[in-house]
Amino acid sequence: MKKNKSTNIVAGLLMISFIGIFLVLSGRFLYIQVSGEVNNVSLEQWAKQKRTSSYSLHAERGKILDNNGMALAYDQPTYRLYAIVDEAFSENQKTPQHVEDPEKTAEKLSDILNVEKEDILTTLNAGIKNGRTQVEFGKQGKGLSQQQKDDITAMKLPGINFNKEAMRYYPNGMFASRIIGFARETEEEDEKGQVTREIKGITGIEDEKNDLLKGEDGYISYERDKYNKKLLDPNEVIKKPKNGNDVYLTIDQKVQTLLEDVMSQVQEQYTPERMTAIVMDAKTGEIIAMGNRPSYNPNNPEDVKNWYNDAISTPFEPGSTMKMFTWASAIEEGVYNGDEEYKSGSYRINEQVQPVNDHNGGEGWGTISYDEGFIRSSNVAAAKLLWEKMDSDTYLDYLHSFDFDKKTDIDLPGESEGKISYTYPRDKLSTTFGQGTTLTPIQQVKAASAIANNGKMLQPYVIKRIVDANTGDVIKEKQPKVVGEPISKETSHQVLDLLESVVSDKDGTGKMFALDNYSVVGKTGTSQIPNPDGGYLRGVGNNTFSFLGMAPHDDPELIMYVAVKQPDLETEDGFEQGSAPVSFIFKNVMESSLRYLNIEPDKEAKNETKEIKMTHLKEKNAKKVKKDLENQGVNVSVIGSGEKVTASNVHEGEEVLPNDRVILITDKVKMPNVIGWSSRDIMQLANLLNLEITIKGNGFVESQSIAADKPIKKGDSLTVELSSPTKVELKEKDTD
């Protein structure tokens, strides 16, 4: 009886416990059913979140274009490869949706991706082993061209898929790379492990105007099943992306291309440590061209070794180009008499101060006028103008009025200002002829605009306008801006006359900068390079040779600055003058640019070169067009064996110079022999034929991946390797 009683008690307790647990669970389920919440989490919202997919709709980054609307930087569609390795994706599917055979898949992909089979196989197996849904293939699996995607798709490999994405592309390679800069993809991972990819500007305009260029991403979300298929009622939400704004530069593609080609030739001939050149519109302050060496191809940013744009970021002692501002200051102050004579050679203000010597070892040219002193680039004349004609404080005021103590505020990142060294008497004397004090090239060009523009100094700029890519509306457009008036109109004209004598006079240091068709005004400079151990470097070529010039004389339209640091000068009678590489750049670019811009020549031409105005070419007989143009000295390439012209790289009304390349496209297109073509010609050909182009190196085409006479079609990939041109004879010599 006791046992039965104990058993009944235990059974009763267990029953009560079970009933209690049942009531608690039932109550909980009833609560969940009524409220739809678990731990304050809505089951409906949780389920909706789980079955909702959301994807970003990436905005297209704005284009960077030249002043005529030619694209210099834009987003190019590329593809990122990924592989689904989760077998669940193949459930209830007629064909496999995941990688069934990793070995075969790795073998097939390795040839197209140019990656070792084992590397791909390791990635696939790691994803399978770690229970991942999908895997990517790093750098080798992204940035794939349309051709690569098509080749992989044709293999019909299960589980291999692509995401379309943009890659920043620079069609002209090294062209104006220090201005344009580059942008590259960056990745950020949030707290949930979601990776966000964004193209971000790193240098140049890409960096300076990143916020305007990048646009605003949109998104799309919808509800789907476990196989990622949309439900019949997916509750789809779409927010369209807003593309970035387009930035139009003041850079002119033709002038910039000419500058790049000429600088490449000088690089090959003289192998200087650095080169810088600027071409500015003297009437507006617009930078038409700007080049530096060393440079880089922004399509391969990993090759960048120097981040600085020397034209705006690297101050150095300007040398004798500074004298044009010293003379301008003395003239404006009313203390200059060009006919007054002085004794050249050496000048010393007192025994405590180191003497100033003229650049011919202090020998000088005897007693000469101040005008002749300017023509011969006399250091003594400059020093005497400061110490005996102007007081040092007055001269310092003029240096400030030329803005030599501040940045130009050009619309590029990374600008530096020079430093006026003006503490001791010798510092003050040295500044007059360009030693001690440092300036950037853009500071000098800005100051020279006052001499070229009737005393009005202009703000230099490289951004012409900002355009809304979605509507085409102009958001902002820059206009010429006068930022100072350091000298009068009369003084500017007198300085222009002196500068003209530097080039035209038989004793002028700048006579090798004279052009055939235009009068040139300008000043040479030979600046010393500080020695890290003290003093200055010695020896042939251990200088920065420069020229700051304008043309035409009476009403300058263009200002051009060129500097070449430490060129490898050949020895001929012991010395080859450093102005040779500088004048080669200046003369080639200035003469051609003035003609291209339709500036009327102001002197009788020695070798008249006329532009040829293009007529309407489309549908005309290709052979006849070729013959007519070649008779005028134009270089013509006919692509294809058809009779009629279907497209061309030049348009009706456009002017071309003799030796320019005109490309005529006909039917039945085959790959031409492009050995010796310039990068510009290759890019124009690729655009006309819709080829995927890859350019390696600089200069002119040395090899091509598609053999000549092979049939080609839209989307084919062409790779060309460029090398430096044949060495150019640069024999002209002179001194500063």
Q: Which residues are tagged catalytic?
A: 320
What backbone phi and psi angles, to 5 degrees, belong to 68?
-105, 5
* Amino acid, single-letter form, for residue 140: Q
Give the N- to C-terminal CA distance of the chain in Å, as an integer: 130
The three-state secondary structure class of 185 is strand
Beta strands in 566-627 (DSSP E): 612-613
**Contact partners, residue 98, CB within 8 Å, separation at least 6:** 84, 85, 86, 87, 88, 89, 90, 158, 159
Nearest to 322 by CA among 182, 243, 418, 208: 418
Whether 433 contacts 323, CB under 8 Å: yes
36: its two tokens: 């739809």
The three-state secondary structure class of 183 is strand
483: its two tokens: 């930022």
Q: What angle do CA 198, 201, 207 make, to 5 degrees?
A: 145
463: its two tokens: 């951004």
- DSSP-assigned letters across all residues of 663-699: EEE-SS-B----TT-BHHHHHHHHHHHT-EEEEESSS
Whole-angstrom Cα distance, residue 303 to residue 549? 33
Whether 529 contacts 536, CB under 8 Å: yes
Nearest to 694 by CA among 716, 675, 672: 716
Whether 147 contacts 716, CB under 8 Å: yes
Query: What is the total residue count of the chain?
Result: 736
Whether 149 contacts 161, CB under 8 Å: no
Whole-angstrom Cα distance, residue 591 to residue 588? 6
Tell me if the bond preceding 294 is cis, omega within 30° of 0.
yes
Whole-angstrom Cα distance, residue 685 to residue 681? 6
Nearest to 549 by CA among 535, 541, 540, 559: 559
